[in-house]
Amino acid sequence: MVQRVSAEYLRQIVRDARAATLAFLQDLGPEQLMGPKLAIVNPLLWEIGHVAWFQEHFVLRRLDARAPLLAAADALYDSMKVAHDDRWDLALPTLAGTLAYMEDVCERLLARLDRSPASADDSYFYQLVTFHEDMHDEAFAYSRQTLGYPAPRFGRWADGPPADAAAGPLPGDVEVPGGRFALGASPDAPRFVFDNEKWAHDQPVAPFRMARAPVTNRDFAAFVGDHGYARPELWCEAGRRWRAEAEASHPVYWVPDRGAWRLRRYGRVVDLPLDQPVIHVNWYEADAYCRWAGRRLPTELEWEVAACGRPSADGTALAPGKRDYPWGDAPPDRRRANLDGSATGCVDVAALPAGDSAFGCRQMLGNVWEWTASDFAPYPGFSADPYEDYSVPWFGTRKVLRGGCWATRSRMITPVYRNFFTPERRDVFAGFRTCAV
């Protein structure tokens, strides 16, 4: 059962998530809020209504057995029943109507929090619906990039980049010893746990070497310059098919400019930030780069070990237990991780040394999501949580990513959090780091 939390904490995160959602949308006109029909985005007008529907469905209707606030809400906003391509053709409420629905749901959620600590059900479902909104806020950020809209406004979260944002590269590997490791979340974890993180199970780990930092734009440019996209031997069979269909010859938002590369970042073209992590690359691109570099992607077990494992006193094996975060047990802050949209983008891979893991890996949380070699699969004894469609429909069809990115909310991300996307997706804020073969 989830740890009970204060009603005031739940009020704070509900308000904060909603303010972030509205900040992402405030500068967009009606045509932008619908946008073109693409497989990798939703109409933003539909998506914000879906966020409110999800809150209503799992709190007001599930816990209080209330009737729907909108008679047609399920037919409009249930993402598992409304086909993706149909979302542009629905009789959606106007923007004003959608915002009114969102406000009504939000105010009712806040009004029913009259107990502290909150009940176990409230503690679970309020965090579920808030983290669901946080995930959609991150999707709003990369959808705006996909559509070439102006960079989102992060409002009060945009504190600016850290002082060492331009810290440069961080080459080299760290040595991670072997041993036994409990992969996943512990039943006594003092935080919300998603069903696909349950439960920690003991695994053997062989010693390995992992890069201290993610692959940078500079690194990836060398792969592109060596005709990496044109060399079939570097690509797996599915990757070769994707590359041919996409006619890919470089990362999706790279722009050639007189023999060099620039980068489209939202509605602007900027100089390629060479020492920032390469971002918006898919699993196939990451896998091909590894083959070119004589490296490999880490498994998600290796990734979690490097992020929150601990060495024995003599450094020759893994010690029992693990840290809550790469740097220790304190929650994330701006000295340790680039999260919450505060920098409004990536920073150099050598930035934020205070966030290093016990083995010396930097930026294991924040900056850029990291692809792993692992397929998304249930842990032993898996049982779906009340949001049954969160994980179950996607097992076996996606690859696992770890660590969060610059737009991920710090209240949600931990080293055991598992993200998952199909391997052709390169619209998300994803990069990768490598291991020695």
Instruction: Give the model confidence (pLDDT) of 208-227 as tens digits.
Output: 999 999 999 999 999 999 99
Instruction: Say whether both 329 and 414 belong to one domain.
Output: yes
Span 217-270, pLDDT tens digits: 999 999 999 999 999 999 999 999 999 999 999 999 999 999 999 999 999 999
pTM of the predicted model over 0.95: yes
| Domain assignment of residue 1, yes or no | no
What is the C-alpha to C-alpha distance for residues 309 and 305, in angstroms, rounded to an integer?
Answer: 5
Instruction: Say whether both 230 and 90 belong to one domain.
Output: no
Structure confidence at residue 158 (pLDDT): 59
Sign of CA dihedral 89, 245, 402, 427: negative
Residue 156 binned pLDDT confidence (cut-offs 50, 70, 90): low
Written as six digits, the tokens of 101 are: 């629905």
Per cent of the chain over pLDDT 70 is 98
Per cent of the chain over pLDDT 90 is 93
Residue 272 binned pLDDT confidence (cut-offs 50, 70, 90): very high
Angstrom CA distances, 4 to 77, 121, 124, 136, 144, stand at 29, 9, 8, 25, 36
Sign of CA dihedral 346, 351, 357, 360: positive
How many residues appear in the chain? Answer: 437
- Please give the average per-residue pLDDT across 107-132, as a whole number: 92
CA atoms within 13 A on the CB side of 394: 19
313 pLDDT higher than 90: yes
- State whether residue 138 is helix, strand or coil: helix
Residue 160 binned pLDDT confidence (cut-offs 50, 70, 90): confident
Domain boundary residue among 103, 121, 153?
Answer: 153
Domain boundary residue among 153, 180, 210?
Answer: 153
Q: For residue 26, what are the contacts with CB-CB under 8 A and spacing of at least 6?
A: 153
Residue 3 binned pLDDT confidence (cut-offs 50, 70, 90): confident
Instruction: Say whether both 113 and 171 belong to one domain.
Output: no
| CATH for 304 | 3.90.1580.10
How many CB atoms sit inside 10 A of residue 431's CB? 28
Structure confidence at residue 391 (pLDDT): 98
Structure confidence at residue 153 (pLDDT): 79
- Please give the average per-residue pLDDT across 98-104, as a whole number: 98
| CATH for 53 | 1.20.120
CB 151 within 8 A of CB 36: no
116 pLDDT higher than 80: no
Angstrom CA distances, 328 to 30, 155, 184, 309, 364, stand at 46, 29, 17, 10, 12
Instruction: Say whether both 145 and 171 belong to one domain.
Output: no
Instruction: Say whether both 139 and 262 belong to one domain.
Output: no
Look up residue 333 and give its amino acid. Answer: D
Instruction: Say whether both 306 and 408 belong to one domain.
Output: yes
Domain boundary residue among 153, 182, 215?
Answer: 153
Instruction: Say whether both 138 and 225 belong to one domain.
Output: no
CB 182 within 8 A of CB 202: yes
Sign of CA dihedral 294, 298, 302, 304: positive
Structure confidence at residue 114 (pLDDT): 80
Span 134-151, pLDDT tens digits: 999 999 999 999 999 999
| Domain assignment of residue 427, yes or no | yes
CB 338 within 8 A of CB 346: yes
CB 187 within 8 A of CB 244: no
Structure confidence at residue 242 (pLDDT): 98
Per the prediction, the chain carries an average pLDDT of 96
- Number of folded domains in the chain? 2
DSSP designation for 287:
H
Structure confidence at residue 157 (pLDDT): 53
Instruction: Say whether both 201 and 300 belong to one domain.
Output: yes
Residue 433 binned pLDDT confidence (cut-offs 50, 70, 90): very high
Span 163-204, pLDDT tens digits: 999 999 999 999 999 999 999 999 988 899 999 999 999 999
Lowest mean pLDDT among 83-92, 122-131, 182-191, 345-354: 182-191
Written as six digits, the tokens of 60 are: 């007001």
Instruction: Say whether both 356 and 432 belong to one domain.
Output: yes
- Please give the average per-residue pLDDT across 310-334, as a whole number: 96
Structure confidence at residue 276 (pLDDT): 98
Domain that holds residue 138: 7-153
Q: For residue 258, what are the contacts with CB-CB under 8 A and spacing of at least 6?
A: none
